[in-house]
Amino acid sequence: MKFSPFMSVPPSATMRMNTLAQEKRARGERVFNLSAGEPMLPTPEPVAAAARQAIAEHKTLYPPAAGIPELRQAASDWMNRAFGCGFSTAETLITCGGKFGVFAALQALLAPGDEVLIPAPYWVSYPAMVHLFGGVPSVVPAAESAGWKITGTDLEKKYSPKSRALILNNGTNPTGVVYRRDELKNILQFAADRDLTVLSDEVYCGLTYEGECVSAASFPEYRDRVVIIQSCSKHFAMTGWRVGVVFGPAGIIKILTMLQSQSTTGTASISQWAAVTAFQLASQITPTIRAAMRQRRDTLIGELNRVFQTNLTAPAAGLYCFVPIKILGRKFSGLTSEEFCERALTDGNVAIVPGSAFGAEGFARLSFAAEEKELIGAVGALGRWAL
């Protein structure tokens, strides 16, 4: 069988570690799993009740390709209220998770050979998706010493006339970076001066513990080039429901709707009805999830600092600590992050994800989305194995 030349993309490293951990567990071994990026909490009861009601009322036929009108309305109301934007329902598309939103937007934007600026450390799927559409990831390294933030000056070094888009992940996976309003404006102005589309992935904005997560769509002067990726997954502990949202100019939303109508036909109608309730109750639900995740973040950082006798600072947002391997495994210097993480799982029974998967060698990503006893157990097991 002959395949498209763009299919040579490895499967996601986070998924791989998660699968390996689950396989080990299935063999009866005790594995501490800090690889998954999902708030380990039950979906809030009113959201689950809305889904049950949708089933009872037989709201189970194909939804419109762009999403049910009630959800487009609830999602845009939420975005406008929470982040000071001005999206209409025609500028709002419901997708199968934020992930399909990124996927479809890149498919809509890229022609083979187009370059996409991607700050690193990056979410593992960005370069992979760019490859899938024949695009070329143009990785812009951020330095740990600069707080893992990039500026227009960093972007300029990787910009070329083939650059077509910039993927900005505000509330960054894996570093937890949150850009200030002035920093964001500087980046958006860079994009405007070079006619780049900005794909702003803001799925972690609700899980901001320090400072404020500013949406790239809250600057009216840049709205025509900004596409926002949002999701119910992290804001409402709804990862398995698969509801994401794309906000952007009506022109791109129309194209993405066409793509969706020719591919997924949109996400499940029952999930969409549940999501209506989630967006309507967001001001009650998200703070509860944020408080739980903040506590888990503090537990993980506290345990790491105690066991490894170090002084890591807590990330401002998200679900992850991005930790230098030299702190975790002094006796493993010389290993790549992938080798280190494979051994941490095989010999130490702790699943964590290598920094190389995020474009930053020498680090590992530890998720604090798991329950506290899992976090404490994981750091203890890492310490027993590594120290």
Alpha-carbon gap, residue 247 to 252, rounded angstroms: 9
Q: Considering only the C-alpha atoms of the chain, give the largest distance between any 2 of them, rounded to a whole number of Å.
A: 60
Tell the smallest beta-carbon distance from residue 384 to ligand PLP (Å): 29
Alpha-carbon gap, residue 298 to 219, rounded angstroms: 33
Examine residue 43 and tell whether it contacts ligand PLP (CB under 6 A). Answer: no
Among 39, 97, 266, 329, binds ligand PLP (CB under 6 A): 97
Residue 158 contacts residue 117 (beta carbons within 8 Å): yes
Q: Report the candidate in 348, 307, 288 with the shortest Cα–Cα distance to residue 34.
A: 348
User: Measured from the CB atom, is 167 or 307 closer to ligand PLP?
Assistant: 167
Beta bridge partners of 167: 199
| Interface stretch with ligand PLP, choices 15-23, 40-48, 97-105, 205-213 (CB under 6 A) | 97-105
User: Measured from the CB atom, is 17 or 307 closer to ligand PLP?
Assistant: 17
User: Measured from the CB atom, is 217 or 386 closer to ligand PLP?
Assistant: 217
Among 71, 168, 203, 226, binds ligand PLP (CB under 6 A): 203
Total chain residues near ligand PLP (CB under 6 A): 13
Q: Under DSSP, is residue 308 helix (H, G, I), strand (E, B) or coil? A: coil
Tell the smallest beta-carbon distance from residue 102 to ligand PLP (Å): 6
Among 17, 18, 34, 37, binds ligand PLP (CB under 6 A): 37
Alpha-carbon gap, residue 301 to 4, rounded angstroms: 44
Q: What residues between 330 and 369 interact with ligand PLP by CB under 6 A?
A: none
Tell the smallest beta-carbon distance from residue 229 to ligand PLP (Å): 6
User: Measured from the CB atom, is 239 or 277 closer to ligand PLP?
Assistant: 239
Residue 194 contacts residue 209 (beta carbons within 8 Å): no
Q: Report the candidate in 143, 116, 140 with the shortest Cα–Cα distance to residue 362.
A: 143
User: Measured from the CB atom, is 163 or 233 closer to ligand PLP?
Assistant: 233
| Interface stretch with ligand PLP, choices 95-103, 283-291, 337-345, 354-362 (CB under 6 A) | 95-103
Among 76, 215, 239, 272, binds ligand PLP (CB under 6 A): 239
Examine residue 169 and tell whether it contacts ligand PLP (CB under 6 A). Answer: yes
Residue 10 makes CB contacts below 8 A (sequence gap 6+) with 128
Examine residue 201 and tell whether it contacts ligand PLP (CB under 6 A). Answer: yes
User: Measured from the CB atom, is 130 or 307 closer to ligand PLP?
Assistant: 130
Q: Report the candidate in 348, 326, 356 with the shortest Cα–Cα distance to residue 13.
A: 356
Q: Under DSSP, is residue 186 helix (H, G, I), strand (E, B) or coil? A: helix
User: Which residue minimizes CB distance to ligand PLP?
Assistant: 97
| Interface stretch with ligand PLP, choices 96-104, 140-148, 156-164, 374-382 (CB under 6 A) | 96-104
Q: Which tokens in the block code for residue 42? A: 């039950």
Examine residue 271 and tell whether it contacts ligand PLP (CB under 6 A). Answer: no
Among 39, 63, 98, 355, binds ligand PLP (CB under 6 A): 98
Examine residue 231 and tell whether it contacts ligand PLP (CB under 6 A). Answer: yes
Residue 121 contacts residue 358 (beta carbons within 8 Å): yes
Examine residue 33 and tell whether it contacts ligand PLP (CB under 6 A). Answer: no
User: Measured from the CB atom, is 173 or 277 closer to ligand PLP?
Assistant: 173
Report the Cα 276 to chain-centroid distance in Å. 21
Q: Please, where are the H alpha helices in the chain?
A: 13-26, 45-56, 69-83, 97-109, 125-132, 152-158, 181-193, 232-235, 250-261, 269-280, 282-307, 325-328, 337-346, 372-386
Q: Under DSSP, is residue 329 helix (H, G, I), strand (E, B) or coil? A: coil
Q: Which residues here bind ligand PLP, judged by CB under 6 A?
A: 37, 97-99, 123, 169, 173, 201, 203, 231, 233, 239, 244
